[in-house]
Structure 1
Amino acid sequence: MTNILISVVGPTAIGKTALSIKLAQHFNADIISADSRQFYKEMHIGTAVPSREELNTAKHHFIQHKSIEESYSVGDFERDAIAKISELHQKNPIVIMVGGSGLYVKAVTKGLDDFPDVDKNIREELNKKLETNGLKPLQNQLKELDPEAYNTIAIDNPQRLVRALEICIGTNKPYSSFLTNPEKKRDFKTITIGLDAKRDIIYDRINQRVDLMIENGLLEEVKKLLPYKNLNALNTVGYKELFRYFEGFDTLDFAISEIKKNTRRFAKRQLTWFRKNENITWFNYQTDKDQIISYVEKQL
């Protein structure tokens, strides 16, 4: 049998974890996490790491395996994930991958794009602007230079934003124009399943999840991480808003509303990214999981 990677994608809070576990149990397969926010062991509640019970129902990889103080890039993940998938395929022709981080999913299934070298001074200048004026002016600049990248990349992530801008400025071409390189050859075939719902349902599920995170102790988790707030891993939704609360800039109610708003924006970007992939077979989030398994078996 050909080696297969079953990739489960979709917006945050849509039910990817539950489906991936059902698939893993049915095919007696391991799960690779492609959720870049779940790599760090110091972050649990705000990143919606699967519960201990969920982790015990199937073998998971790349969950809380790094420290926030370690540097871990998408290139590092591509290398490690491909090696792990190859190892797992020696025991089982099927491996499950789950995650809503589009770039990390693409790194595994198709490989990363190659970008030309640009003048290092451009990045230094952009980082100075970032330090002085914050994200907003740089986000507006990217919107003007490359609307497609503005609508798909994680523009709240300073590293991604600066990277996209330095390519735009250094090449006089849109960053998104370089995202068309030939796919890398993989030793497996990929079946990609997408979960979706109407936008108002997605947004309502996100709001409920944020409220549940607060109930489950997100404030305490973030407070412990306050001394590390400048680390790149912590510059993410659910943490940066509460850092502002603890530093006295915002009220708690406002911080929570910002988490919900920014998570909704993140979900919109996820869908924009994934909907460009014509190889995804989409299912409504309420579709019976056995029906999805039946579809996968037909593909096999």
Structure 2
Amino acid sequence: MQKTVIIIAGPTASGKTALSVQMAQLFKTAVISADSRQCYREISIGTAKPSPEELSAVPHYFINSHSIREDVNAGVYEKLALGYVREIFEKNDVAVMCGGTGLYIRAFAEGIDDMPVIAPGIRTRLNEQYAQHGLAWLQQQLQQRDPGFYATAETQNPQRLIRALEVLDATGQSITTFRSATRSPRDFRVIKVGITLPKEQLHHNIHYRVDAMVHAGLVEEVRSVLPYREHNALRTVGYQEIFSFLDGYISLDQAIDDIKTHTRQYAKRQLTWFRKDPAFTWFDSRDAADIMTYVQQQLK
């Protein structure tokens, strides 16, 4: 059998983790996470990591592998994940990748261009201006300075906007000039499975999960990482809203409502990203048997 990576992707709270564990058990293999935040040891509740039972059911890579003091990006992930795959392939013909970070999955499957090195001061200054002026300022800056990139950018994602402005400030060139769109050949096969749920069910799952996170101690977790709040890993849904609560700007109830709203918006962006890739075959995540059958047929 040709060495194969089964990629299970989709929006947050759609059931990717449970399905990937089931898939890995079927093929007696391991799961590589493709989630840009679950790699950080210090943040577990707000990142919806696999449960201890799921982690012990099959081997997992890129879970609790880094500290939030480390800078992990798509380029770093590409190199790490290719190494993980080589390790798995020593004993098995199949590996499972699971996650919702589209850029990481693309980097793994197709390669990613080397981005210019950014002086730390540039990022610090942009982060300070973002903290002072907010998302609208980032959007306005990028729309004026790099309208071509802005037209296709994730305009609600401050990390992506700051990254594009960093490159502009450091090089005077658009981030798009560093994206050559040349695919790096891979010596293994990739099967892409997209999973989702009807919108009402997905939103129900998101709301339920956020309430469960709060009950599990999300506020205490966010408080414990306050010293690192400027790190990119924490500029994300679930943490920014609780920071606002801890700063006294909003009530806890408002923070929880905001997390639910922003998570729904994030899920929509994830779906938009993955649906642009025609290589994905889509399923309702509740149809696990159909998904397993499909993958087994593809492997023949």
Provide TM-score, normalisation by structure 1.
Answer: 0.89
Distance 1:119 1:96, change over 3 A: closer
Separation in 2, partners of 1:227, 1:128: 15
- The alignment partner of 2:183 has SS state of coil
Deviation at 1:128, TM superposition (A): 6.1
**Matching residue of 2:163:** 163
**Matching residue of 1:183:** 183
Q: Percent identity?
A: 43
Is the CA contact 1:12–1:267 (under 8 Å) kept in the aligned structure 2?
A: yes
Separation in 2, partners of 1:232, 1:295: 38
**Matching residue of 1:33:** 33
More deviation in 102-111 or 127-136? 127-136
Distance 1:237 1:122, change over 3 A: closer
More deviation in 43-52 or 70-79? 70-79
Is the CA contact 1:13–1:206 (under 8 Å) kept in the aligned structure 2?
A: yes
Unaligned runs of 5+ in 2: none
Separation in 1, partners of 2:222, 2:132: 25
Is the CA contact 1:139–1:155 (under 8 Å) kept in the aligned structure 2?
A: no
Deviation at 1:260, TM superposition (A): 0.8
Distance 1:75 1:116, change over 3 A: closer
- Superposed CA deviations along residues 28-82 of structure 1, whole A, max 9, x for unmatched, are 0110001011011111110001110111111101101111112222211111110
Deviation at 1:295, TM superposition (A): 0.4
More deviation in 107-116 or 7-16? 107-116
Picking from 149, 152, 167, the partner of 1:149 is 152
Separation in 2, partners of 1:61, 1:154: 29
- The alignment partner of 1:43 has SS state of coil
Distance 1:278 1:176, change over 3 A: farther
Q: Cα RMSD between the aligned structures?
A: 2.6
Distance 1:269 1:168, change over 3 A: farther
State the AA in 1 paired with 2:61: H
Residue 277 in structure 1 maps to residue 280 in structure 2: no
Separation in 1, partners of 2:79, 2:21: 24
Is the CA contact 1:149–1:176 (under 8 Å) kept in the aligned structure 2?
A: no
Deviation at 1:130, TM superposition (A): 2.9
Is the CA contact 1:197–1:284 (under 8 Å) kept in the aligned structure 2?
A: yes
Residue 233 in structure 1 maps to residue 233 in structure 2: yes
Deviation at 1:106, TM superposition (A): 0.7
- The alignment partner of 2:276 has SS state of coil
Is the CA contact 2:138–2:158 (under 8 Å) kept in the aligned structure 1?
A: no
State the AA in 1 paired with 2:229: K
Separation in 2, partners of 1:115, 1:196: 32
State the AA in 1 paired with 2:250: D
Is the CA contact 1:114–1:181 (under 8 Å) kept in the aligned structure 2?
A: no
Count of matched residue pairs: 295
Separation in 2, partners of 1:211, 1:120: 37
State the AA in 2 paired with 1:139: Q
Provide TM-score, normalisation by structure 2.
Answer: 0.89
Distance 1:82 1:229, change over 3 A: same
Is the CA contact 2:127–2:230 (under 8 Å) kept in the aligned structure 1?
A: no
Is the CA contact 2:23–2:96 (under 8 Å) kept in the aligned structure 1?
A: yes
Separation in 2, partners of 1:254, 1:54: 32
- The alignment partner of 2:41 has SS state of coil
**Matching residue of 2:56:** 56
Deviation at 1:237, TM superposition (A): 0.9
Separation in 2, partners of 1:201, 1:95: 29
State the AA in 2 paired with 1:238: G
Aligned pairs (5 A) from 1:198-277: 198-277=198-277
State the AA in 1 paired with 2:108: V
- Superposed CA deviations along residues 232-251 of structure 1, whole A, max 9, x for unmatched, are 22121111111111121110
Deviation at 1:271, TM superposition (A): 0.9
Deviation at 1:163, TM superposition (A): 2.3
- The alignment partner of 2:96 has SS state of strand
Unaligned runs of 5+ in 1: none
Separation in 1, partners of 2:125, 2:243: 27
